[in-house]
């Protein structure tokens, strides 16, 4: 029912009501679909049913999420479409989902549609034919405000958007939210980049890298749904707490089919092996070094032997002979072609059979494909293949490399020094694959070996977050999974806290197999208030030379507090006076002590950064090593010096502290009794 009013807010509310009703009708249509006769086979019927179920789920009218958050009025109908009646086709509402009325007319456009793009990109200097951009403000699902920009009106002064500021300032509890209503132009460029382009984004803390990566996946799924449905998409993150924190974003954008995993989970699944041991930092560093790829390649290829004898094959009354040197040539050709070991092993019998068939033809016979296959499968040919190109079990191969000094020395000759070889080997040789003391870095080696034998399947697109922490071998593991697809690589060199953290994105991209991909930089910080980012940025010259400090879109004066009494519980009580979540970040070695202090003070807190904060339980206690990628409204950092000392070297320690200091959205309290690291002094 249309309201009899000219009040723009009422009119917009009416459109919202009508859009909600239309969405409910769309959902009903899907629920009422008669699926009994839809498909001939049981399998395809199940597929269709699954799709309909997903569709119903994505159409769920989430009461808390605004159905549309913006509107654009174009000066001309986009794409030269004919002008319509009534309010004309040049007015578009932009929202999370496409909604149409019973007649198929769009009520809300998906934010990813091309026609929505100017909502994000138009400016006064480049209005992109937008006469009016309207942003909507909501409170608990109710449309309560709007804000207009007439981009082509020279008389109108540019003002900062209050709604945008309010959105960014909103207190946070619970998992990460989508930013679909407020994606910034420089972020939008990354989100909408072509699917064929691999892109690397360097960005200071809180510049929206994670948010942009997730929205990019949603955009690609919209623009290339069929293709990506076949090939798949994957988001790789640093740990389970992080993955848990971001896991709601894609479903809130209507995308349910994106896999999320850590590198450890990827290689664990592929190899079927579990981590049972740990490495020293040196051993892990060496095992993650790109030279190990060469060692493994050599070890796999070392199984190819010389042909010792000619082949003699008896068929019926005739004997066919392929001389030793010709067989050797076939083997050499396969070696030269750099095929996967397993594929070459599969090809060899056919090549030998071909040599036999050529002889048959020369002798006047007319053998067909069946004969060729029979020859390829014959015992003498099989015997040659077994002797010259034996099957290789990748896990056993790595086990042998890490257990058998001679075998490793042969494969690592000219690549690793003796000392390095000793560091790489396990202390005690392992007996079996199931009981070996596999470390996280070892499983990456097995994953590489698997790929040397048989090509790893590639996905359509992979988003790699917190990428700075990966070793070259881990980059290779991720790269294998997007070898025929593309990738979005997100990270911050200054936040690299592994001993093997990457020194440059060019190098990282090389290991990923995406040499020469573009590197973009995001510098506008949306999370951390200026005062806090300026404080944390004092560390930058000591941890990443040449990186520009982030700016901040948020002033929030008075957001930084220092307490020298070391009283964490008092600091937490102070933080609880503010709205939103509180993260208490402490050196890993201090966890037990701070836990007791909080318990003694009667502070209720969550002990797991993967657990979701709620209004009742707003405090999370977490070790510094798990803080990466997370954020809290208020952060209490306990004893910065001990956080620095918890790492193997000073630079890594200061980087860890930089990560920890940049988790705060509204306020940061630094509490200590030990003197602060001198690098933090102004």
Ligand X SMILES: Nc1ncnc2c1ncn2[C@@H]1O[C@H](COP(=O)(O)OP(=O)(O)OP(=O)(O)O)[C@@H](O)[C@H]1O
Q: Which residues are annotated as a binding site for ATP?
A: 203-210
* Exposure b/e, 409-430, CB count within 10 A at least 16 = b: eebbeeebeeebbebbbbeeeb
List binding-site positions: 203-210
Tell me the window of 200-208, 314-322, 404-412, 600-608 that interacts with ligand X (CB under 6 A).
200-208
Q: Please tell me whether residue 208 binds ligand X under the rule CB under 6 A.
A: yes
Nearer CB in complex with ligand X: 468/471: 468
205 binds ligand X (CB under 6 A): yes
Beta-bridge partner residues of 521: 202
| Closest CB to ligand X among residues 108, 664 | 664
| Angstrom distance (rounded) from CA 198 to CA 488 | 6
For the CB of residue 50, give the shortest distance to ligand X in the complex, in Å. Answer: 31
Cβ 136 vs Cβ 69: under 8 Å: yes
String of contacts with ligand X for each residue 158-197, x by CB under 6 A = ---------xx--------x-x--xxx--x----------
Binding string, residues 582-621; x marks residues near ligand X by CB under 6 A: ----------------------------------------
Residue 631 touching ligand X (CB under 6 A): yes
Q: Please work out the total of residues on this chain that contact ligand X, with binding judged by CB under 6 A.
A: 23
* Smallest distance, ligand X to C-beta of residue 612, A: 15
Copy the structure tokens of residue 288.
């993650």
206 near ligand X (CB under 6 A)? yes
Q: How far apart are CA 447 and CA 453, in angstroms?
A: 10
Contact segment (CB under 6 A) with ligand X among 155-163, 206-214, 279-287, 572-580 equals 206-214
| Shortest spacing between CB 665 and ligand X, in angstroms | 7
Instruction: Return the number of the residue (216 or 511) whose C-beta is nearest ligand X.
Output: 216
Minimum distance of ligand X from residue 217's CB (angstroms): 13
**Given 203, 288, 349, 583, the residue binding ligand X (CB under 6 A):** 203
Q: Which residue has the tokens 């698997």?
A: 450
- Decide whether 248 or 350 has the Cβ nearer to ligand X: 248
Of 207-215, 274-282, 554-562, 602-610, the segment contacting ligand X by CB under 6 A is 207-215
Report the residue from 19, 117, 198, 207 that binds ligand X according to the rule CB under 6 A.
207
Minimal distance, residue 178 CB to ligand X, in Å: 8
653 interacts with ligand X by CB under 6 A: no
Give the nearest distance from C-beta 585 to ligand X in angstroms: 13
Please say which residue, 221 or 494, places its beta carbon nearer to ligand X.
494
Q: Tell the smallest beta-carbon distance from residue 165 to ligand X (Å).
A: 10
Which span (203-211, 288-296, 315-323, 476-484) binds ligand X, by CB under 6 A?
A: 203-211
> If you search the block for the tokens 């009325």, which residue do you land on?
101
Name the β-bridge partners of 622. 585
Does 70 help bind ligand X (rule: CB under 6 A)? no
Q: Are 626 and 609 in contact, with CB atoms under 8 Å apart? A: yes
State which residue, 250 or 598, has the beta carbon closest to ligand X.
250
The answer to whether the beta carbons of residues 173 and 611 sit under 8 Å apart is: no
CB of 10 to ligand X, least distance (A): 28
Stretch that binds ligand X, among 21-29, 205-213, 260-268, 291-299 (CB under 6 A): 205-213
Supply the minimum distance, in Å, between the C-beta of residue 551 and ligand X: 13
Q: Which of 537, 544, 558, 571 is nearest to 639 (CA)?
A: 571
Q: Cα dihedral sign for 564, 568, 574, 578?
A: positive
Taking the CB of residue 557, how many other CB atoms lie within 10 A of it?
8
Q: Which residue minimizes CB distance to ligand X?
A: 208
Closest by CA to 456, choosing from 481, 487, 485, 486, is 481
Structure tokens at 632: 């809290």
Nearest CA to 581 out of 664, 641, 637 is that of 664
Tell me whether residue 124 or residue 177 sits nearer to ligand X (CB atom). Answer: 177
Q: Of 451 and 631, which has the nearer Cβ to ligand X?
A: 631
**Is 168 or 275 the residue whose CB approaches ligand X more closely?**
168
SS3 readout for 413-472 = CCCCCHHHHHHHCCCCCCCCCCCCCCCHHHHHHHHHHHHHHCCCCCCCEEEECCHHHCCH
Which of 78, 94, 97, 185 is CA-nearest to residue 133? 94
Nearer to ligand X, 253 or 344 (CB): 253
Q: Which of residues 438 and 526 has its CB atom nearest to ligand X in the complex? A: 526
Of 622, 531, 532, 533, whose CA–CA distance to 582 is shortest? 622
Query: Dihedral of CA 109/115/120/126: which sign?
Result: negative
* DSSP states of 131-146: EEEEEEEEETTEEEEE
Write down the least CB distance from residue 667 to ligand X, Å. Answer: 15
For residues 191 and 555, give the distance between their C-alpha atoms in angstroms, rounded to a whole number. 27
Among 271, 662, 666, 669, binds ligand X (CB under 6 A): 662
Reduce the DSSP state of residue 321 to 3 states and report it.
strand
What separation, in Å, do the N-terminal and C-terminal C-alpha atoms of the chain show? 63
d(CA 361, CA 425): 53
Q: What span, in angstroms and rounded, lies between the C-alpha atoms of 227 and 221?
A: 9
Choices 134-142, 199-207, 231-239, 387-395; region in contact with ligand X by CB under 6 A: 199-207
Q: What single DSSP character describes residue 114?
A: G
Q: Which helix (H) or strand (E) holds 70?
A: strand 68-74
- Is 496 near ligand X (CB under 6 A)? no
Q: Does 210 bind ligand X (CB under 6 A)?
A: yes
Please state, as a whole number, how many other Cβ atoms lie within 10 Å of the Cβ of residue 632: 28
By CB under 6 A, is residue 629 in contact with ligand X? yes
495 versus 497: smaller Cβ distance to ligand X: 495
Exposed, middle or buried by CB within 10 Å (0-12, 13-18, 19+), for 595? Answer: middle
The interface region with ligand X, picked from 61-69, 204-212, 537-545, 587-595 by CB under 6 A, is: 204-212
Using CB under 6 A, list all residues that contact ligand X: 167-168, 177, 179, 182-184, 187, 203, 205-211, 492, 495, 526-527, 629, 631, 662
């Amino acid at each position: 029912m249309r309201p009899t009013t000219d009040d723009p807010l009422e009119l917009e509310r009416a459109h919202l009501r009508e859009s909600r009703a239309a969405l409910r009708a769309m959902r009903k249509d899907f629920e009422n679909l008669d699926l009994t006769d839809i498909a001939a086979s049981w399998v395809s019927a199940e597929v269709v049913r699954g799709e309909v179920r997903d569709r119903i789920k994505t159409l769920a009218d989430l009461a808390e999420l605004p159905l549309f958050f913006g509107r654009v009025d174009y000066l001309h109908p986009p794409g030269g479409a004919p002008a319509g009646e009534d309010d004309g086709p040049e007015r578009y509402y932009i929202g999370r989902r496409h909604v149409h009325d019973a007649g198929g007319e769009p009520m809300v456009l998906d934010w990813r549609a091309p026609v929505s793009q100017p909502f994000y990109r138009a400016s006064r200097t480049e209005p992109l034919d937008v006469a009016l951009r309207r942003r909507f403000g909501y409170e608990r699902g109710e449309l309560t405000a709007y804000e207009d920009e007439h981009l082509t009106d020279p008389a109108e002064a540019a003002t900062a958007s209050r709604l945008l500021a309010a959105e960014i300032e909103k207190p946070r509890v619970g998992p990460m939210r989508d930013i679909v209503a407020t994606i910034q132009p420089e972020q939008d460029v990354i989100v909408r980049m072509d699917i064929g382009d691999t892109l690397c984004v360097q960005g200071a803390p809180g510049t929206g890298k994670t948010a942009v990566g997730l929205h990019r996946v949603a955009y690609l799924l919209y623009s290339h749904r069929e293709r990506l449905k076949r090939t798949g998409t994957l988001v790789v993150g640093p740990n389970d707490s992080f993955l848990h924190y971001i896991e709601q974003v894609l479903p809130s954008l209507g995308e349910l089919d994106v896999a999320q995993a850590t590198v450890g989970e990827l290689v664990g699944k592929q190899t079927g092996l579990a981590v049972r041991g740990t490495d020293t930092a040196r051993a892990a560093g060496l095992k993650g070094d790109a030279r190990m790829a060469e060692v493994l390649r050599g070890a796999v290829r070392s199984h190819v032997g010389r042909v010792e004898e000619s082949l003699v094959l008896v068929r019926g009354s005739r004997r066919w002979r392929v001389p030793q040197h010709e067989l050797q040539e076939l083997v050499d050709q396969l070696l030269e072609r750099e095929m996967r070991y397993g594929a070459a092993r599969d090809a060899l019998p056919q090549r030998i059979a071909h040599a036999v068939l050529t002889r048959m033809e020369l002798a006047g016979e007319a053998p067909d494909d069946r004969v060729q296959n029979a020859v390829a499968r014959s015992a003498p040919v099989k015997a040659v293949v077994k002797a010259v190109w034996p099957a290789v079990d990748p896990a056993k191969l790595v086990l042998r490399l890490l257990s058998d000094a001679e075998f490793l020395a042969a494969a690592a000759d000219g690549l690793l020094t003796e000392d390095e070889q000793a560091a790489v080997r396990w202390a005690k040789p392992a007996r079996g694959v199931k009981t070996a003391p596999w470390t996280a870095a070892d499983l990456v080696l097995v994953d590489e070996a698997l790929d040397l034998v048989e090509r790893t399947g590639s996905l359509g697109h992979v988003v790699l977050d917190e990428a700075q922490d990966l070793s070259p071998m881990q980059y290779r593991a991720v790269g294998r999974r997007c070898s025929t697809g593309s990738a979005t690589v997100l990270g911050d060199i200054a936040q690299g806290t592994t001993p093997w953290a990457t020194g440059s994105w060019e190098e990282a991209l090389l290991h990923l197999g995406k040499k020469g991909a573009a590197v973009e930089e995001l510098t506008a910080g949306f999370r951390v208030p200026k005062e806090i980012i300026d404080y944390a940025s004092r560390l930058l010259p000591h941890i990443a030379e040449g990186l520009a400090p982030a700016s901040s879109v948020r002033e929030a004066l008075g957001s930084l507090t220092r307490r020298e009494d070391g009283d964490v519980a008092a600091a937490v009580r102070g933080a609880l006076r503010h709205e939103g979540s509180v993260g208490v970040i402490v050196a890993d070695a201090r966890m037990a002590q701070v836990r007791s202090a909080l318990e003694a003070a009667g502070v209720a807190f969550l002990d797991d950064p993967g657990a979701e904060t709620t209004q009742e339980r707003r405090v999370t206690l977490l070790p510094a090593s798990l803080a990466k990628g997370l954020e809290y409204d208020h952060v209490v950092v306990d004893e910065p010096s001990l956080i620095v000392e918890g790492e193997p070297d000073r630079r890594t320690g200061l980087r860890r502290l930089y990560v920890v200091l940049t988790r705060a959205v509204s306020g940061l309290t630094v509490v200590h009794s030990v003197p602060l690291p001198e690098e933090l002094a102004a």
